[in-house]
Amino acid sequence: MEINKHNFELLLPTIREAIDESQFVSVDFEFTGLKKSNDQGNFYYDTLQDRYEKARNSAKSFLVPQCGICTFYWDDESKKYKAKAFNFYCFPATGSRELNISPCFLCEGKSLEFLMQNGFNFNEWIEKGIPFLRSKEENQARERLNTLFDNEIKIDERNKEFYTQFKTQLDDFLQNSTEKSILVKAPNRYLKKIIHQQVRKLTNGFVASESASSEEIRLTKLTEEEKYAYRNKEEKLADEINDLIGFRKVIDYLILTKKPIVGHNMLLDICHMVQSFHSDLPHNFTNFQKRINTLFPTIFDTKYIIESTNKLREMFVTSTLIDAKRIADNNIRNCPEIDLMVIPDDEDITSKNYENLELCHEAGFDAYITGILFIKLSAFLENMITDDSEQEKQLLEYEPNKLSIGSNQIYKKYKNRVFIMQSDMAYISTAKGKDDIIDRSNVFYAYNYPPSWRIPVLIKTFEEGIYGGVHVCLDQNSSGCFVKVFDRKMVSFFKQKWMNEEIIVVPYSEYQKTLEENPELKTNKKQENKRKRENSVDIVFNSSKKRKFEDDEIDIRKEKKTSSIQHTSKEKGKGKAEDEDENKEGKNKESEEKGEGEEENREREEKESQNEKSDLEDGEISESEIESPYVESDEESTDSEKSDDNEDDDESDGFILQNTSTRIFKFNTKQKRLILNHAYSKNDQNKNSNSNSNMNKNSQTNPRTHEKRIETSNSICIIC
């Protein structure tokens, strides 16, 4: 049944009656967004507080444009469940200017597109959406109303002079002035309140006062008829506030009746029910539990019921709402029938046929499907407690009966447990208890490993010798990772194995304690800590060098296979020269003492720099052209599997992107090495010596990483 602001008050008694007679109420909400662009998404090792904060931030930022509520009650006469579904369009309350109500909210593009694709009527939402006003905003509006009409403010000593001047001006306006209205100065809100109050008190309603600007109030003389109309305005504003409460009246009635609330994957639904229609969500997760348990003491999440029951998890290959309903229809028997009740059509009432599954993602329809799924799951759970022979007997002698929803002991393990996605936690409890303790004694935090390592390498490294395997998850905030040892018997062995290794591994509890002591470490550093790409380098040129570099680019692109072959022959000649130099150095090394090693390294660096200069001449790019330090590239190389023999092909000599300020060039290996070295040195000239030593150290401890970064691709991205 479609309900909007035009028929809401008319149907409110029907809605309350349906709630009163129901055994439970299923709910579903649609949202204008899920996550702000700068917010972190769900993380596998979120704490309860982390996950709650993310849901809370979403509920505070976005809006509920459509709410679905479906009530279910047992009809003894027909031996069926009866359902009454209500679909509400909800739009934030915007009252008269005197009430100063104009809320703001965020929208996420993808979410709006999703709503549009599923038939959401944005025009009806804005034009006919039911307003809603929380208690806090309602009280603020009533305070403004009292300020305008009834609230008396005492005049203190500091403002007596202002009051005397105002009273003189008012008396002159009433007795001597022929003007219909005048402007009175009121520099602040407090003085404005005094003027409003004294005008009502001294003129017996024959003068109206209203704000004309931030520092002025307009006083207007009224006739007898105008006086009555102005006084009637106060009553109209009071009625308007009552109308603006709107959909909150439905939520308040659910809170009052304490009916069991059923949802599907309903963490965000619960957060929005409170944040949008009741009060601000608390900052602390424990206080959130207290608030929810007070407002809605009985909650069931159908997704959690499916995922936490072995037989159901085997039956449901997917637990998305519509698919879960189809699977339940095909596999769960011994279930009472369910009839959807349709209120007789009226000119202000629209009903839909919810037997059509194409209406999915309409809130009222989804609430209806959620309730059906819950009844079927409840029937399965209640039948599951009998043995196989008894079940076969029940199939033959089945008679539909009212389910003991919530009252049966079997529901205890599902009550007040809300499913959470992408986590090693199965649920969040909405009632404080032992469920809040998360055992992560088999989880470790590892860091100080080579930055090029990805999950496959990490898994292979950490699962060596570990029976049962490990789960690896990269940390959102740094270059570390979490390692979960599946077999808890192997935890002590895992600790011992990595105790004195170069890669540092600490227990999760120690990692969490560090975060609590240093909250700044929890900030999102994902953008700051992007790992350096292995196969591409960005070099930034200033505008004065752009034209000359474009000329160089044209020369490079004109080179054909002939120049490529010539360049290859040059490299071979250089390679022989390098080999001879290395042989000579090797012979000298055998005759020299250990203390002369540093001098030999300096000589080798000088020879390498000479070779690099000759490579630079071949590439036709001078070092003076390069102005800016190394900048990390977001482009991933697609040439990582090509051999060095093909690096000077015609088809790989470069291309220009659509963005005219970005060009990608291809260079040979030695040219790349020169540009890399130059970029690194430019990055931090003050630490040039330390940087070189670190590069040498890295190449020794992990030569494959350094070699791959330089030689597996000849792509260089240059941003002008």
Domains of the chain, by residue range, sit at: 2-133+247-427, 141-244, 439-522, 538-570+606-686+695-719
Q: What is the mean pLDDT of residues 450-469?
A: 89
Give me the helices (H) in 319-463, please: 321-331, 363-384, 388-397, 455-462
Residues making up the chain, counted from first to last:
720
Q: Average the pLDDT over each of 60-69, 320-329, 621-630, 677-686 and give the range with the smallest value.
A: 621-630
- What does the pLDDT read at residue 351? 55
Supply the pLDDT for residue 332. Answer: 92
Token pair recorded at residue 686: 């003050």
Q: Determine the pLDDT at residue 192.
A: 85
Q: Strands of 504-507's sheet, edge to edge?
A: 470-474, 481-485, 443-447, 504-507
Whether residue 99 is predicted with pLDDT greater than 50 in this model: the reply is yes
Nearest CA to 277 out of 103, 157, 416 is that of 103
Superfamily for 141-244?
R3H-like domain (3.30.1370.50)
Looking at per-residue pLDDT, the higher value among 52 and 196 belongs to 52
Lowest mean pLDDT among 210-224, 400-414, 640-654: 640-654
Q: Among 160-164, 525-529, 603-607, which is the least confidently predicted range?
A: 525-529
Place of tokens 């029940």: 394
DSSP H helical segments within 632-687, as ranges?
669-683
Task: Say whether pLDDT at 180 is over 80.
Answer: yes
Mean pLDDT of 511-520: 83
Whether the per-residue pLDDT at 454 is higher than 70: the answer is: yes
pLDDT (tens digit, 9 = 90+) per residue, 242-295? 999 999 999 999 999 999 999 999 999 999 999 999 999 999 999 999 999 999
Average pLDDT over residues 442-456: 92
* Selected residue with higher pLDDT from 512 and 154: 512
On the question of pLDDT at 649 being above 80, the answer is no
Q: What is the pLDDT of residues 8-61, one digit of tens each?
A: 999 999 999 999 999 999 999 999 999 988 888 899 999 999 999 999 999 999
Whether the Cβ atoms of residue 717 and residue 635 lie closer than 8 Å to each other: yes
* pLDDT at position 654: 39
Average pLDDT in the chain = 76
The CA-based dihedral angle spanning residues 134, 136, 137, 138, taken in that order and rounded to the nearest 10 degrees:
80
Helix, strand, or coil (residue 432): coil
- Asked if residue 74 has pLDDT above 70, the reply is yes
Element (H, E) at 606: helix 597-619
pLDDT of residue 63: 94
Burial of 347 (0-12, 13-18, 19+ CB in 10 A): exposed
CATH T-level fold of 2-133+247-427:
Nucleotidyltransferase; domain 5 (3.30.420)
Helix ranges (DSSP H) in 410-542: 455-462, 491-497, 508-517
Grade residue 193 by pLDDT with cuts at 50, 70 and 90: confident
Least confident of 111-120, 504-513, 621-630: 621-630
Q: Give CATH superfamily name and number for 439-522.
A: RRM (RNA recognition motif) domain (3.30.70.330)
pLDDT category, 131, cuts 50, 70, 90? Answer: very high
Pair of tokens at residue 10 = 């008319």
Can you tell me the distance from the alpha carbon of 491 to that of 485, in angstroms, rounded to the nearest whole number?
Answer: 7
Question: What is the b/e burial string over 411-445, where b = at least 16 CB atoms within 10 angstroms of the residue's CB?
Answer: beebbbbbbbeebbbebbbbbbeebeeeebebbbb
Sign of the dihedral through C-alpha 585, 586, 591, 597: positive
- Give bridge partners of residue 473 from the DSSP assignment: 482
Please, which residues have CB within 8 angstroms of residue 428's CB and are 6 or more apart in sequence?
48, 51, 52, 267, 417, 418, 420
Phi, psi of 685 (to 5 degrees): -65, -30
Do 6 and 348 form a contact (C-beta atoms < 8 A)? yes
Is residue 144's pLDDT more than 50? Answer: yes
Q: Which residue has the higher pLDDT, 159 or 626?
A: 159
Q: Residue 173 class from Cβ within 10 Å (0-12 exposed, 13-18 middle, 19+ buried)?
A: middle
Element (H, E) at 66: strand 66-75
Report the pLDDT value the prediction gives residue 698, as an integer from 0 to 100. 42
Nearest to 60 by CA among 97, 35, 86: 35
Least confident of 170-184, 270-284, 355-369, 511-525: 511-525
Q: Percent of the chain scored above 70 by pLDDT? A: 66
Q: What is the number of H-type helices and E-type strands within the chain?
A: 25, 20
Q: Contact, 141 vs 102, CB < 8 A?
A: no
Give the pLDDT confidence of 237-256 residue by residue, as tens digits.
Answer: 888 899 999 999 999 999 99
Which residue, chain included where needed, has tokens 């469940």? 81
Among 182-196, 389-403, 503-517, 551-565, where is mean pLDDT lowest?
551-565
Candidates 92, 91, 101, 95; CA nearest to 237 is: 95
How far apart, in whole angstroms, are the C-alpha atoms of residue 29 and residue 66? Answer: 6
Greater confidence, 142 or 30? 30
Tell me, rounded to whole angstroms, the distance of Cα 322 from its chain centroid: 24
- Is the pLDDT confidence value at 534 over 60? no
Residue 225 pLDDT grade (very low, low, confident, very high; cuts 50, 70, 90): confident
CB atoms within 10 A of CB 131: 21
pLDDT at site 106: 92
Is the model's pLDDT at 546 over the cut of 70?
no
pTM of the model: 0.66
Instruction: Look at residue 585 in the predicted model and tell me its pLDDT.
Output: 52
8 Å CB contact between 679 and 719: no
Query: What is the per-residue pLDDT for 596?
Result: 52
Confidence of residue 401 (pLDDT cuts 50, 70, 90): confident
DSSP H stretches of helix in 443-560: 455-462, 491-497, 508-517, 543-558
- Does the structure show a pLDDT above 60 at 672? no
Confidence of residue 536 (pLDDT cuts 50, 70, 90): very low
85-115 core/surface letters (b: 16 or more CB in 10 A; e: else): bbbbbbbbbebeebbebeeeeeebeebeeeb
Position 611 pLDDT exceeds 60: no
Integer CA distances (angstroms), 169 to 165, 173, 196, in order: 6, 6, 14
Average pLDDT (424-438) is 84
More confident position, 266 or 584: 266
| pLDDT for the residue 414 | 94
Q: Is residue 26 within 8 Å of 374, Cβ to Cβ?
A: yes
Q: Which tokens is 487 given?
A: 């077999």
Of 80 and 575, the one with more pLDDT: 80
Does 701 or 460 have the greater pLDDT score?
460
Task: Name the residue with tokens 């507080």.
Answer: 49
Pick the closest to residue 463 from 486, 442, 445, 439 (CA basis). Answer: 486
* pLDDT at position 194: 84
